Amino acid sequence: MSIAVTPHPPPAHSSPHSLSNPHSLSFLLHQRPPLSIIHQLHAHTITSTNPQNPTSTSLYNSLLRAYSRSPSPLTTFSLYNYMLTNGTPLDHYTLPFVITACSFLSSLPHGLQLHGCAMKLGLFSDLYVQTTLLNMYASCSTMDCACQLFDRMEQRDLVSYNAMIAQLARAGLPKMALEIFREMVSNRLVNPDGATMVGVLLACAQVGSVKLGMWVHGYLAKIGGFDSNVVLSNALVDMYAKCGDAISARKVFDKMNTRDGVSWNTMISGYSKNGCFLETLDLFREMLRERVRVDEVTIVGVLSACSQLGALELGDWIHTYMEKHKLKYNVIVCTSLIKMYAKCGNIDKAYEIFSGLPCKDALVWNAMIGAFAMHGHACKALSLFEEMHASDVRPTPVTFVGVLCACSHGGLVNEGRKYMHDMVNKHGIKPNIKHYGCIVDLLGRAGLLDEAQKLVESMPIEPDAVLLGALLSACKVHGNVELGEKVGKRVLELDPHNSGNYVLLSGIYARSGRWEDAAEVRKMMNDNGVKKQPGLSRIEVDNVVHVFSMADWSHPMSEDIYSKVDEMVERLKLAGHEPNTNVVLIDVEEDEKEQLLGLHSEKLALAFGLISVKDSQPIRIVKNLRVCDDCHSAIKLVSKIYSREIIVRDRLRFHHFREGQCSCGDYW
């Protein structure tokens, strides 16, 4: 070996008479003692045994095993060199322990040397040696070598199969892992065990194969006993959650005999990633009641749910909880906090956290740039990008998505063109579909529909439904029926199940008075089994998130809410507000259109906010769709009539209403 470290000299007090028996030493080493004790036992072995004695090999192997799993695995090479120098006999256990140290250190060069030693000493054919070599290659990110070795193995046991399946799954090669599993099952030479299934479930989660995952679940139910296996049950919860089946994930979670922190974190993260945000918060509260230890992983999952719901009060409470319990502020947690405050409408607090971080990586910069863009602070976002560049932090593709979004929301066409050019020519970043989508959106909002169309036609990549949807939306805003019809038909072919595109095309026809065409689009939508996504508005009051839909009477305070809506409508009329009935896309009488406008979810949430939120506090509303023109103009006037600050987050951005004005400048 090229690593040659002098063994630790024996301490003066390191010759305990009770350890004269090699079996006693081996027993102690297998108990995983502290590293200081291992050093003492090492020194005692050197001073009290004959290295050339074959019976000493097992004792040295025990030392190798202890060192390979210790915080200082490098010392394993020192002892191995000592054994070679003093002629200590090696057996089929010796090399695997040294190879394990290579795995922990990700030391491929030394692993290759040990592979050569195994060949030279005639130990390579040993299954244990081969399996540890396989793990070593995988740990050193050389899966090609691991696969070649696995293919050359004349004999494979459960351990080797499990190692290969697990390593392929961890390396992001789930399809190969599942192929190995199929081979294992079809040959029927080795029966899979719990460790096998953990690797298989990880692979299922990565490919999103809930069907295969359910087969694994059924297999486990058939053989029984997995309910008491926490690791396996956690893998099942994770698989279902990552495959989009949060209901099945929760069923497994509820049936677990015992749960650890990973169980709770996996379910919370699963809920959050599947859009079950209220369920995420409910489970978090249950976790607190059960006095399960909350860690940074928990916090990230819950903050994500708060971000989506706009639950600022709860998010702020979690921040305080972190301070009180001294949880670690790693990069992911800080990024989550910035996003939470930004998405909940408190951009100043988001920037306060950002500014207080001594070290900022690209993730943190991207979060803050994106936050400014989302709030319509285009100049601040661009200024922050320049500051990021001056700080020698390399921008990523995500950075430029935030920058270009800022340009789009601010109507900064020339700046957007410049940053797109710089991204390619100065930073060497190849534009992806999101970057092109931002530019199309930027040009479309500015009314440059011809330029946007030419960009779509000249792109080196095929446009997707999202990008074309941005162009379709611009056609609706600027009343370009001809282009809108062309783009609309194309986008419906690409994504026939997205209700938003049907609504946009129908709206283009309706605004131009082509009611029959609008009705035909709605018929096509029904024929394809597509239902319009309901508009939902959320508002948090006293740590409780209230959800409203159009014409919703389910709230216990509905009578008071609708009474407040009537009051709002009357005061709006007195202030000169005229309802914008053009946003109603069905052919009915004007008075009926006005009634429908008063039932929009954001108006119901606003009425509830006027009743329930203190005058000194902003009213914060989160809507899942784009706020309509009528609601936008009405909320502007309400902010002046009632002297209230109103913050609305719609699907695209934030609107800060004060004294009859909106931060977007009516450009959204």
Mean pLDDT on 266-288:
96
Of residues 6 and 53, more confidence is placed in 53
Q: What is the pLDDT of residues 328-359, one digit of tens each?
A: 889 999 999 999 999 999 999 999 999 999 89
For the chain, percent of residues with pLDDT exceeding 90? 66
**Sequential DSSP letters for 496-517:** TT-HHHHHHHHHHHHHTT-HHH
Dihedral of CA atoms 153, 155, 161, 162 in degrees, nearest 10, equals -110
Q: Which of 32-36, 107-111, 369-373, 664-668 has the highest mean pLDDT?
A: 369-373
Tell me the pLDDT band of 590, cut-offs 50, 70 and 90: low
Mean pLDDT for the chain overall: 88
Backbone region of residue 256 per phi and psi (left: phi > 0; alpha: psi in -120 to 50; beta: other values): beta
Could you give the CA distance from residue 169 to residue 164 in angstroms, rounded to a whole number?
9
Residue 154 carries which DSSP code? S
Tokens of 249: 């994930």
pLDDT of amino acid 192: 87
Could you give the CA distance from residue 469 to residue 496 in angstroms, rounded to a whole number?
12
Mean pLDDT on 478-487:
94
Cα angle value 19/22/23 (rounded, 5°)? 100
Mean pLDDT on 197-217:
92
Is 395 within 8 Å of 388 (Cβ atoms)?
Answer: yes
pLDDT of amino acid 7: 36
Query: Which run of H or E residues covers position 657?
Result: strand 654-658
Instruction: Determine the residue type at 108.
Output: L
Tell me the pLDDT band of 458, cut-offs 50, 70 and 90: very high
Instruction: Determine the residue type at 576.
Output: G
Could you give the CA distance from residue 269 to residue 263 in angstroms, rounded to a whole number?
10
The answer on pLDDT for 579 being more than 90 is: no
Mean pLDDT on 158-168:
92
pLDDT of amino acid 24: 52
Q: Which residues contact 81 (CB under 8 A, 6 or more apart)?
A: 1, 3, 4, 5
Is 46 within 8 Å of 85 (Cβ atoms)?
Answer: no
Mean pLDDT on 156-160:
90
pLDDT of amino acid 32: 58
Of residues 54 and 609, more confidence is placed in 609
Tell me the pLDDT band of 9, cut-offs 50, 70 and 90: very low
Could you give the CA distance from residue 209 to residue 175 in angstroms, rounded to a whole number?
10
Q: Which residues contact 637 (CB under 8 A, 6 or more apart)?
A: 572, 575, 577, 660
What 3 state SS string does 44-79 have?
A: HHHHHCCCCCHHHHHHHHHHHHHHHCCCCCCHHHHH
pLDDT of amino acid 16: 39
pLDDT of amino acid 14: 37
Identify the weakest region by mean pLDDT among 71-85, 228-242, 502-516: 71-85
The answer on pLDDT for 605 being more than 90 is: yes
Tell me the pLDDT band of 33, cut-offs 50, 70 and 90: low
Tell me the pLDDT band of 588, cut-offs 50, 70 and 90: low
Orientation angle between helical segments 433-445 and 449-458, nearest 10 degrees = 160
Q: Is the dihedral of CA 254, 255, 261, 266 positive or negative?
A: negative
Tell me the pLDDT band of 598, cut-offs 50, 70 and 90: confident
For the chain, percent of residues with pLDDT exceeding 70? 90
Is 604 within 8 Å of 561 (Cβ atoms)?
Answer: yes
The rounded Cα 657 to chain-centroid distance in angstroms is 32
The answer on pLDDT for 606 being more than 60 is: yes
Mean pLDDT on 440-459:
95
Could you give the CA distance from residue 344 to residue 66 in angstroms, rounded to a whole number?
51
Tell me the pLDDT band of 18, cut-offs 50, 70 and 90: very low
Identify the weakest region by mean pLDDT among 31-45, 509-523, 578-592: 31-45
Mean pLDDT on 545-559:
94
Could you give the CA distance from residue 130 to residue 123 in angstroms, rounded to a whole number?
9
Could you give the CA distance from residue 576 to residue 111 in angstroms, rounded to a whole number?
80
Mean pLDDT on 577-597:
69
Give the start-to-end residue ranges of the domains of the chain.
431-527, 536-662
The answer on pLDDT for 432 being more than 90 is: yes
The answer on pLDDT for 587 being more than 60 is: no
Q: Considering the domain 431-527 in this protein, what is its CATH number? A: 1.25.40.10
pLDDT of amino acid 3: 40
Mean pLDDT on 591-606:
83
pLDDT of amino acid 2: 44
pLDDT of amino acid 67: 78
Q: What is the pLDDT of residues 34-60, one digit of tens each?
A: 656 555 555 555 555 555 555 588 778
Instruction: Determine the residue type at 344.
Output: C
Identify the weakest region by mean pLDDT among 185-199, 360-374, 478-492: 185-199
* φ, ψ for residue 619, nearest 5 deg: -95, 120
The answer on pLDDT for 167 being more than 60 is: yes
Identify the weakest region by mean pLDDT among 43-52, 58-67, 87-96, 243-252: 43-52
Mean pLDDT on 231-247:
95
pLDDT of amino acid 549: 94
pLDDT of amino acid 13: 37
Rg (CA), the chain: 32
Mean pLDDT on 58-73:
80
The answer on pLDDT for 374 being more than 70 is: yes
pTM reported for the whole predicted model: 0.81
How far, in Å, are 21, 41, 45, 90, 325 from residue 48 at the CA level?
10, 10, 5, 19, 50
